[in-house]
Structure 1
Amino acid sequence: SARFADAYPLLLIGAAALDEINARMRAAGREALPMDRFRPNLVVAGTDPFEEDYTESLRAGDVVIKPVKPCARCPIPAVDQATGIPGPDPLDILQSWRAKAILDGAVCVGMNCIVFEGAGGVLRVGQELDIALSF
């Protein structure tokens, strides 16, 4: 089950996307951000940076997850959830290459997803996923 979901039950972000964001943060003289600042509940490794933008589906056994739309970001990634204190805000850096014209220029990181098949199925940390891409 998903608790405290925003508009969608799943938020997919690739580990390589965070690596790219942090490389740009450090190049701008700012601290790197941990993944939890973006609040994903599905993180994939072994993909290219932002490959989730082109993911058609992810499959793990009987569970099929479909990305529905890019996740437009608010200022929340700047807030350290352990302390509640704002830290380095990535939005201005992300704006330079992650703004989506289709979403009125919103800065997007990650893909909002739904469970398309296999509702009630279980995904586990480290589980392999079959990822289908579309371009």
Structure 2
Amino acid sequence: MFKGIIQKGIEKFGNLFLVLLLMIVGISVVRSISNYREASRQIKSEEKKLDSIAKENQNLREELEKVHSVGFIEKQLRDTLGLAKDGEIVLILPDEEVVKKFAPEYDEEEETLPDPNWKKWAKMFL
């Protein structure tokens, strides 16, 4: 008699244990999938950042190469310091506003079209 009760208790406990085990495994699988998706999103985001940083790095390298070129250095020396090569003459012009003050002012005349023929005839007879 006790054997039957004990067996039923063991079966119920076994079933309950199996259900709990399946629930734990299911929850673990769902969490793993969620973590995988989040990690995937984060990897994609970081790859985009890496691409933009690589492009910026390339642009900065090109700019650095341009700045170190002889032509750029020569232009900076001419423009900012007013230096010139031997035999060259440096002309320093005043600002635009100063040049405009010295420029003659022209009165702008409005261009008028000649009167049409009907107006000429009307003026003549009236």
TM range (shorter): under 0.3
TM-score, normalised via structure 1 length: 0.14
Larger C-alpha radius of gyration, 1 or 2? 2
Q: Greater relative contact order (Cα 8 A, min sep 6): structure 1 or 2?
A: 1
TM-score, normalised via structure 2 length: 0.14
Which has a greater percent of strand?
Answer: 1
Which has a greater percent of helix?
Answer: 2
